[in-house]
Amino acid sequence: MSGTARARRPLKQGYFTVPENPAEPPKLMGTVCKDCGEYFFPKRVVCAKCLSENTADAMLGPQGTLYSYTFVHFPLFGSTKVEHSTGYGVGQVDLPEGPRVQVPLAGKQEDFKVGMPLVAELDPIREDGDKDVVILRFAPVAGGAK
């Protein structure tokens, strides 16, 4: 961890990891059903597929595939970042384990293409004392389809 990196905290606990190392991508905190093997995001107690309660925490991602996207022409709610004031990308992302998640995307509308590979990252949206408040978003994989 570099000496200049600011501490980070998630906007909401229990949805994604905030690794100590800023270069390490976050993972999504989900659930796996130990009876039928289905994965879910976010966490749940009862399996939505087979109704079993024999479930456990599971880390998902950080890779994903873009199922669909849009670019919202409104400021991102709760963000003080200038780049969010004119709008932000949103995508539905398929995780390799099965769940589909709806999350903000890094980049401009022309950067997105259905089916492109993505990776999760943490995006600071405002400051809280000496910490950056971060949300989870997905970004095009460097050198990926553009």
Partner 1 sequence: MSILKNGREVAILGVGMHRFGLWPDSTNADMSRVAGLAALKDAGLSFKDVDAAYVGQIFAPVMAGVRVMKEFGLTGLPVQRLDNASATGSACLYEAVGSVASGRYDVAMVLGFDKMTGIVADSSANTDPANLEDAILPAAFFAMWATRRMHERGTKPEHLAKIAAKNWHNGGLNPMAQRQPDKPVPIEKVLSSRMVAWPMTTMMSCPIGDGAACAIVGPVELAKKLNPGRPIVKVVASALQSERYDRGHLFMGPVVGPGRMTVDTSAVCYEQAGLGPKDIDLVQVHDAFAIEELEYYELLGICGKGEAEACIDRGDFELGGRVPFSTDGGLIARGHPGGPTGLAQIWETTLQLRGEAGKRQVANARNGICHMMGGGSVCVMHILQKG
Chain residues that interact with Zn ion, rule: CB under 5 A: 33, 35-36, 47, 49-50, 52
Question: Could you tell me if 1 and 19 are in contact, meaning their C-beta atoms sit under 8 angstroms apart?
Answer: no
Q: Quick one: what does residue 80 bind among Zn ion, partner 1, none, with the CB cut-off 5 to 8 Å set by partner type?
A: none
For partner 1, the closer CB: 3 or 26:
26
What's the token pair of residue 2? 């570099």
DSSP designation for 87: -
Q: Are strands 7-10 and 131-140 parallel, antiparallel or unpaired?
A: parallel
As measured in angstroms, the least distance from the Cβ of 138 to partner 1 is 13
How big is the chain by its Cα radius of gyration, in Å? 16
Instruction: Round to whole Å and give the CA distance between 146 and 139.
Output: 12
For partner 1, the closer CB: 25 or 104:
104
Q: Quick one: what does residue 21 bind among partner 1, Zn ion, none, with the CB cut-off 5 to 8 Å set by partner type?
A: none
For Zn ion, the closer CB: 1 or 50:
50
For partner 1, the closer CB: 2 or 13:
13
Q: What is the CA 92 to chain-centroid distance, rounded? A: 10
Q: Quick one: what does residue 63 bind among partner 1, Zn ion, none, with the CB cut-off 5 to 8 Å set by partner type?
A: none
